[in-house]
Each structure stands twice: as structure tokens, then as C-alpha cells.
Amino acid sequence: MATFALLAVGDELLDGLVREGNCTGLSSRLRAMGHRVLEVRMVPDEESSLRGALLEVVGRVDFAVISGGLGPTHDDRTRSVLAEVAGSELVWAGEEAERVLSRYEGEIRSRLEGPLRSQLMVPRGARAIYNPLGTALGVELELSGTRVFALPGVPREFEAMADLLLGEGRIPPASEVFARHLLLVGVTEGELMELASDLHERFGVRLSILPSYGYLRLFARCGDPGAIEGYVEALRSVPRLAESLIEGDSLLGEIRRLCAGRFWLSVAESCTAGAISRAITDEPASDYFRGGVVAYSDEAKVGLLGVDPGLLEREGAFSAPVAESMAEGVRRLLGADLGLSATGIAGPSGGTPEKPVGLVFLGISSPRGTFSYRFHFRGDRGIVRARTVNKALEILWRELKALVG
């Protein structure tokens, strides 16, 4: 196990204009490799701040990774701060600089040889890290016993260059760690604690739990592959967990596996207005997803899905019978094997004492019949919609399991 500090450079991060993602992503990968991130820090585009942070960090960790500040403008200070701290000067990066240059010609090339030249320089004695996507080279050097990597902050470039570093073994894995992603669909943190609070300790498994709007993502690590297997086995011995457990972290993958070659899906959405369809197609789905209807208005529910206007009038758009009628309607309309539907009140307005904000009905129509489910989700509009999407996918997954048997 090696220790890491990650520094993200950029005023936009401290302005709160953008959520830092490079360090979060890298942390997750380093943890999976068995490493330990001791600190993540965001610092402004200012020489003194970056120098201060760097000096506080080097010597305390095995590796430091800096994201950002390598571009061509006056805001980009990482390169010169590294040279200053290393007590050297910036020099042309030679081979790696030529490799970047060779991808360009004409005006871009002459700017890279002229005004944008600084992006292709590194402190004397440092190694240049090739940038396969952009024009700013990364930097690798040693400071006070800490190996320091500086990569561009543009997310695609950061990720591609981190890939290179990990792939080439510049940051080697800690060999003794075994890790497993698990997904508990529709299980709360409270339930997990009640049913299996001490299991991970019994197997010596280090467990990270991430609740996500009705799901729990688990990340289990330990030094012994047998112990991880034992832990998963023990989870499976609890019926409520066994029926909700997916090995891996992809519910969509399971849904596709259950559908493949057997079932076509369709979706009718009111309050989620396309979010369920979008979630199903977060990965390519053209071999099992036929499409859907966004029935945001009553006109669409009646005209497209064939919901009975009398039923709408009598029960209201937010009701179990309307959810069922929408699911049957979209299934029929698209000639699909399953129809999934959602109708409810996402808020912030539109709630009444009888039908408050967060009340949602989900419907499903399948060869087993048509069913509906009632929920009352807490939270703002975005959270109610996110919970509705996740619960809809859970209902679809359970229905597919029941169909496949």
C-alpha cells in the first residue's frame, strides 16, 4: 500500500462553479488498487498557494498527483512552481514534445513552437508525460522523497494520462488487495446495518458503503480472496439481501442479461418525463428497448396511451389505476413485452393534503399481468425524480427475474 495526496488546481473549483471530479475519480481507482489517499486539496490558480500546498504535502506521502495549471495562459502556474520547488529551470521536453508537435501542422504547430511553447516544457531533470489528447505535457519528478505527477485538469486528458501512468506501472498496484463491487437494490443503510452490521468485521473485510437514492453500492476489500468470497456468501445467506444483491455495480447489465433475446421493453413517463428511458439507455439498449412515451400532459395520457378520460377524471392522474393503464397502453402502443410507467408529483408545486409532493405510482405490465406500486419519496424535485427512476428500474429488474424464474 502506498500513500497519496491529490491536489486540484483552479479558481473555478474554489469558486464553486464546478465540482472537482478528477481527484474523485482517481481516488476511486487508487483505492481499488489497494492504495490510500490521505488528502485531497483544491487550491487557487496562484503560485504561492500551490507552492504552499506542495511543500506541506511532499515528504509526507509516497505519491502526489496534481491536476491542472499546465495550460498556456498566465493562470497556469503548476509548471513554474514545480521548477521552483525543484530548484531547476524549465527546458524543452525533447522527445515527448516532438511527439505532440508531430500531430499538428500549420498555424497550430507554429503557435506550439511559439506563444504556446510553454506547454511543452518541463523542469530540467523531470520526466515529461505524453498527452495523447491535448497539447499540454504532464510532468513527473521526485521532491523530498515523494514522487510527484502533474497532469492537465481537462477531465478527458487527466483521465487518459492517469490511464497511461497506471497502465505503465508508474503507479504500481499494491499487490495484496482483493476488491469486489456489490450492489444492493432497494436496500437502505438501516436495513443493511440491522441484517449484517458485523459481517464484514467477522471476515476482516474493509467495507465502503455508498447510498444512492434507494440503492446501496458496496465496495469490499481485503488481503484474502477467500475472505471476500466468504463475506459475499454470508450476505447471500440473508434472504432479504440475497434477493437484492447484484455482484458488480451494474443494474443495467443485469436487466440486459435478463431481457436479451426474450423481451422488448417500453416506458410511459409522466413525472419523470424521460428520465427512466434515459437511464435505461445509459448503455446501448437497442436490442431490448423499443422506446416510450413522455405523457407529461393529460392529453398525451389519453390521446397516446389510451388512458380512459373518465378514469383520469375519477382517480386523478396520480393514481394506481392510471399508472396501470399507462403501462398497458405503452406496451400495446409499442408492441413490447413489458410496459413500465411512472406518474406522480415531483414538486415543488402541485401537492395537496391527500396527494402530497413525492407521491409516486409506478406501474408494470408484463406477461404475468399488470401491477402497480405506491411510494412517498422525500426530497426536492431532483431527488424525487432520482428515487423514482431507481425504484422503477428495481421493479423492472424484479419483474424480469420473476418472468425468467
Q: Which residues, numbered 128-157, are part of the site for a copy of itself (CB under 8 A)? A: 156
In the bound complex, what is the minimum distance in angstroms from residue 123's beta carbon to a copy of itself? 24
Q: Which of 91, 116, 166, 209 binds a copy of itself (CB under 8 A)?
A: 209
Q: What is the Cα–Cα distance from 245 to 151, expressed in whole angstroms?
A: 38
Q: What is the Cα–Cα distance from 129 to 341, expressed in whole angstroms?
A: 50
* Eight-state DSSP code of residue 136: P
User: Is residue 253 at the binding interface for a copy of itself, with CB under 8 A as the rule?
Assistant: no
**Strand pairing partners for 92?**
121
Q: What number of other Cβ atoms are within 10 A of residue 126's Cβ?
A: 24
**Strand pairing partners for 3?**
36
Binding residues for a copy of itself, total number by CB under 8 A: 77
Contacts of 2 (CB under 8 A, 6+ apart): 35, 36, 62, 63, 171, 174
Q: Which of residues 321-360 bind a copy of itself (CB under 8 A)?
A: 333-335, 346, 348-350
Q: Which of residues 93-132 bind a copy of itself (CB under 8 A)?
A: none
Per DSSP, which regions of 144-203 are E strands? 146-151, 178-185
Q: What is the Cα–Cα distance from 329 to 336, expressed in whole angstroms?
A: 10
- Give the binding range for a copy of itself (CB under 8 A) out of 226-234, 255-263, 266-274, 367-375: 266-274
User: Is residue 26 at the binding interface for a copy of itself, with CB under 8 A as the rule?
Assistant: yes
User: Is residue 41 at the binding interface for a copy of itself, with CB under 8 A as the rule?
Assistant: yes
Closer residue to a copy of itself in complex, CB, 24/110: 24
In the bound complex, what is the minimum distance in angstroms from residue 156's beta carbon to a copy of itself? 7
Q: Is 49 helix (H, G, I), strand (E, B) or coil?
A: helix
> What is the residue whose three cell numbers read 415543488?
348
Q: Which of residues 59-78 bind a copy of itself (CB under 8 A)?
A: none
DSSP codes of every residue in 321-387: HHHHHHHHHHHHHTT-SEEEEEEE--SSS---SSS-TTEEEEEEEETTEEEEEEEE--S-HHHHHHH
Asked whether 27 and 37 are in contact (CB, 8 A), the reply is yes
Q: Which of residues 147-206 bind a copy of itself (CB under 8 A)?
A: 156
Closer residue to a copy of itself in complex, CB, 48/110: 48
Q: What number of other Cβ atoms are within 10 A of residue 7's Cβ?
A: 25
In the bound complex, what is the minimum distance in angstroms from residue 89's beta carbon to a copy of itself? 28
- Give the binding range for a copy of itself (CB under 8 A) out of 34-42, 136-144, 224-232, 233-241: 34-42
Q: Which of 108, 210, 402, 404 binds a copy of itself (CB under 8 A)?
A: 210
Q: Which of 110, 188, 237, 281 binds a copy of itself (CB under 8 A)?
A: 281
Closer residue to a copy of itself in complex, CB, 148/220: 220
Closer residue to a copy of itself in complex, CB, 18/402: 18
